[in-house]
Amino acid sequence: MDERTSPGARSRRPAPLPARVLLAVAAAVLLLTACESPGPTVADDRGPVPAPPGPSPYGVVFLGPGDCSSRGPVIREVFCRSEKAAATVLARHLGTPSSGPPCPDATDFVLHVSETGTGARSRLTTGYACMRNLEPPHPGDPGQGGGPLTVVGDCVTASRAGEVTETACADAGGRAPRYRVESAVRRRAQCPDDTDLFVSLRGERPVGCARRSTGW
């Protein structure tokens, strides 16, 4: 029997699909093909996504190195560009100045820092900060007669008790003999023969070799 349909007979051929159905089927085929067979690799030329900016170092450690403080009876941490900024932190250490690392020679004064309570922002909450004034005067500079350290170039007066007091080299007042620290060495034996006074210093060279001066 001829399988062709005779005129007037109902066709068994399926009805054509609407266009939108054909499009959906084509899209499904493409997606299936993409999943089953890997295509060419496409490089992402947009570059890495920049990370969000981290927190500002200001305030992370109370009076950390490089921070600035205000002046007055109550010391506060302020932005270094603020008109209230008076001094900057050269170094920050735990403990006490007598037991902890020495401050840099340029230190004008030392602040004893204590931060407690729930608002403490770091483990570096107690200790001391080595400070230097943002503007002159700088009592910590050699020969200025101030500062927490005795350094080479400073002048001192000696007492009978074996103690010395730092004084300004340019100060013409006072009758006590004055000595100028000319050098610093590791041991007394390394001082020059004309050394008149040995002065205790801090750091890797703890012996100051001082000479008596009569010119002031």
- Two structure tokens written together for 61: 């450690």
Please, what sign has the CA dihedral across residues 138, 139, 144, 147?
Answer: negative
Inform me whether the pLDDT recorded for 99 exceeds 90.
no
In the predicted model, what is the mean pLDDT of residues 65-79? 91
- The predicted-structure confidence for 114-135, as pLDDT tens digits, reads as follows 765 555 555 556 799 999 999 9
Residue scoring higher pLDDT (207 or 36)? 207
- The predicted-structure confidence for 197-207, as pLDDT tens digits, reads as follows 999 998 899 99
65: closest CA among 86, 88, 84?
88
- The predicted-structure confidence for 143-188, as pLDDT tens digits, reads as follows 999 889 999 999 999 887 788 999 999 876 666 789 999 999 999 9
Residue scoring higher pLDDT (129 or 113)? 129
139: closest CA among 204, 193, 87, 184?
87
HSE, side-chain direction, 13 A CA sphere, residue 63:
29
Residue ranges of alpha helices (H) inside 46-134 are none
Core vs surface per residue 54-68: b (16+ CB within 10 A) or e:
eeeeeeebbbbeebb
Q: What's the confidence (pLDDT) of residue 39?
A: 42
Share of the chain above pLDDT 70, in %: 64
What distance in Å separates the CA atoms of residue 26 and residue 32, rounded to the nearest whole number?
10
- Two structure tokens written together for 45: 């030329």
